[in-house]
Structure 1
Amino acid sequence: MTYHLYSHNDLDGVSCGILAKLAYGESAEVRYNSVQGLDFQVERFLEQKKPDDALIITDLSVHTENEIRLEEFFKKGGYIQLLDHHKTALHFNDYKWATVKVEYEDGRLASASSILYDYLQEKNVLKRTEALDLFIDLVRQWDTWEWDKNQTINAKRLNDLFYMLSIEEFEERMMERLQKDEPFSFDNFEEKILDMEDSKIERYIHRKRRELIQIDIDNHCVGVVHAESYHSELGNVIGKDTPHLDYIAILNVGGRKISYRTIHDHIDVSEIAKQYGGVVTLRQLVAP
């Protein structure tokens, strides 16, 4: 059987691909997609599938038409599994082929990679190890922003490393060390370039903080700034420095995107997302 895994192209999504390759080896076919690109991939899979093809979707969800097609595929005996952690995907729990979990019973927020890690262990295709436990928890803490509360700096550094390397090089580096029976850690080269990146981010944020403007939008006090990179770090620092702002809108004109971030639990960016479309990633929204 060939396992086709379609996942998001961020750290959490690519970590799902790493897990799939560790579990299924040569039988894993992994493709990373933007939010907008998934449905095309799913449609092509359904058109070209072979009898022994299985489909696993992680960290993304399909539109209504593909939702119906996947249900039909499942009813005809097809292997389909959707695993997600976004509140906007909770309705997929109505299907036998989907698992959407926002939070664990112990209060930890879930990520797509942590859900897939559990799933692969339940299927007895991936053995739990100390290295995998730590790696997946770092990814989970970054993606859910728990790292900031817990001050798990290595979670942030792992995400920094992800964006400093190509996806292929990141996969290769992570898979090599995750297959060893050793605790997960960064090597000397990675530590050096991460230290350099920390200094670069600090200078960038210092400059962008001075460009922030404040406006009122729909009864919200909003901070607006233009930035082409480091949106998560910038939004978090500005949010802490200016707690009177309900949320931060970060404009990337060249990338034709708006990123939203808030440090306040009473601000639900899923409601903001309804006005603009896009995908909600816990406290962050990236809209085309």
Structure 2
Amino acid sequence: MLLHISHNDLDGVSCGVLTKKFLREVDNIFCNYNEIDQILAEVNTAEYERILITDMSPGKRAFERLLGEIEMIIIDHHESSVWLTEMTECIHDIKKSATMLTFEWLKDMGKDVEPYRELAECVNDFDMWHLKRKDSLQMNMLFMKLGVERYMERFSRRPYNGFSADEQLIVELETERRDKYIHSAAKSGFSLKDRDGLDFFVVFAEEYSSELGNHIIKDLEMDYVIIINMQRHKVSLRSRPAVDVRRLAEQNGGGGHKNAAGFSFEFDFGTMDFLHEIGVIHEG
């Protein structure tokens, strides 16, 4: 039996679709970055032959506790996990999504994954923020509306060859709602300047972090955006190409990519204390 632990976003859950479809004997757990170490601490290694971790990585202490007790495989594309390449079996490529890396890993094992190439490429286009495909943003919308369990059931049952009529209707209705939400949320935030003279925007929002961040950076000409989700206790960071927000995420126990990162926080998270730490000078 394989224990598969993965991030609970579109990319991470799509990795779970592939393992459930092609490996069969697998337990899937989806979680946030700040939850993985606790999950590993509670694992009964006698129940599993291997542990597969995709689209995220454990902390060093949690990893070392299991090292030697059970075989561990890491498939990830975040720069923060590169240290694992020298510690265990690790597939690491910052230029591909975890779904695409998992797809290729299964193919190398001899699995007939080709019918799922379209799904892997669609998720890769969204997660790497290439956005060359119209349906990749729509796929994320569908994921958000279906939720983890329904998405897993839908795509592990049959591959993706375009949306069904019902799925297309969901996407169209959600597109309308998304556009209204993004414009409304952007109006509710405020701009600031950090100690390095960079302009950033703070906004409270619970949905569409990437799309909202992209809208604010482009239309309001910000260097980066801090999106605070009080419901999920999560901060998402988005930036223009030249600005690295991954470091800010890592300083707060999170991770991610140079231009798209995030971290979770406890219930007593203080917004103004956080902004003071990054050197706010004045409001814009």
TM-score (norm 2): 0.87
| Aligned equivalent of 1:40, options 22, 38, 41 | 38
Q: Secondary structure, in 3 states, of the residue corresponding to 2:167?
A: helix
Identity of aligned residues (%): 27
Q: Secondary structure, in 3 states, of the residue corresponding to 2:162?
A: coil
Distance in structure 2 (CA, Å) of the matches to 1:278 and 1:239: 22
* Structure 2 counterpart of 1:203: 180
Q: CA deviation at 1:37?
A: 1.6
- The number of equivalent residue pairs is 263
TM-score (norm 1): 0.86
* Runs of at least 4 residues off by over 6 Å: none
Q: Secondary structure, in 3 states, of the residue corresponding to 2:206?
A: coil
Q: CA deviation at 1:138?
A: 0.8
| Aligned equivalent of 2:135, options 127, 131, 154 | 154
Q: Secondary structure, in 3 states, of the residue corresponding to 1:166?
A: helix
Is it true that 1:119 corresponds to 2:105 in the alignment? yes
Is it true that 1:164 corresponds to 2:145 in the alignment? yes
* Structure 2 counterpart of 1:193: 170
Q: CA deviation at 1:285?
A: 2.0
Q: CA deviation at 1:240?
A: 1.2
Q: Is the 8 A contact 2:3 2:27 kept in 1?
A: yes
Q: Is the 8 A contact 1:177 1:184 kept in 2?
A: no
Q: In the alignment, residue 119 of structure 2 is paired with which amino acid?
A: F
Per-residue CA deviation, residues 142-172 of structure 1 (Å, 9 max, x unaligned), is 111111xx2x120111111001013221111
Where does the alignment leave 5 or more consecutive residues of structure 1 unmatched? 104-109
Q: Secondary structure, in 3 states, of the residue corresponding to 2:58?
A: coil
CA distance 1:54–1:227, shift in 2 (3 Å): same
* Structure 2 counterpart of 1:247: 224
Q: Secondary structure, in 3 states, of the residue corresponding to 2:23?
A: helix
Q: CA deviation at 1:279?
A: 2.2
* Structure 1 counterpart of 2:18: 19
Where does the alignment leave 5 or more consecutive residues of structure 2 unmatched? 266-284
Q: Is the 8 A contact 2:6 2:30 kept in 1?
A: yes
Q: Is the 8 A contact 1:161 1:194 kept in 2?
A: yes
* Structure 2 counterpart of 1:107: none
Distance in structure 1 (CA, Å) of the matches to 2:182 and 2:47: 52
* Structure 1 counterpart of 2:156: 175
Q: CA deviation at 1:86?
A: 0.2
